[in-house]
Structure 1
Amino acid sequence: MTTTPSNSDRLRLIKLIHVARRELQMDEDTYRLMLAAMPGLDGATSTAKLNVPKLHLVLEQLKAKGFKVRPNNKGKRPVAADPWSKKIRSLWLTLRDQGALRDSSEEALVKFVHGQTGAHALQWLDAKQAHQVIESLKQWIARKEQVGA
């Protein structure tokens, strides 16, 4: 079974509505009464057969009751902000600007750093490893400039 974009949006909205209901500590009866009383839902007491625009109405109603949508950051590591990481990222973006990178994303940078040091994140670099990565990137930039000159 393939999922169409509108169907995936619909399923995402239904999940989000149920998260909102749980976070607002809304019991089943209160939730169904809220749905039944909402204008535009034609007395529906369940999200099962509602279309995407009507699901947006339900979500907006739950937001009005205090629900706040938070981004899903599962599996995402915060971006390192220490001076070494900033320098490494700056050099990486210099290589991007020189056209030396096929993929200039943060994930590609982390893979490069891992290949150089074995560390799986910029935050985990010690001073010696950070220096190693910085020098390696500087040498790469110098080689790229020599070829371009």
Structure 2
Amino acid sequence: MRNPALAMIHIAKKELGLDDETYRAMLLSVGGAASSKDLTQDGIDRVLTHMKRCGWKPKRKAADKPRVGESRQSLINKAEALLAEAGRPWDYADAMAQRMYGVERAGWLAPVQLHGLVAALTYDAKRHGRFQGCN
């Protein structure tokens, strides 16, 4: 659990654009250590909370891909492929599900709604010149 948390701190540092001096001063004042490797678990939690308050938003991992029954898996795979091609995270599909159907997560959509989501992602790909389709 420690290594992924330390990796998140370093990702947040990069995404927030902190220089080394500012970063180390923040670690010392918020986490109580001059180096991330010296942080306690409580210090790690405080540093991550502080970085989120400063505007850092952790991205969802690929492992956060919705888990669904086998009957809907092909639609989820198609949506995932379209998202990856566009360079968009699953949060984008979740936002579309919320906007289109009032459902918080794309993985919670009914099969007919998943078809609509895939159609919308396909339309977006065509509009941006990314969809080749079958010829």
TM-score with structure 2 setting the length: 0.48
The answer to which structure has the higher helix fraction is 2
TM-score with structure 1 setting the length: 0.44
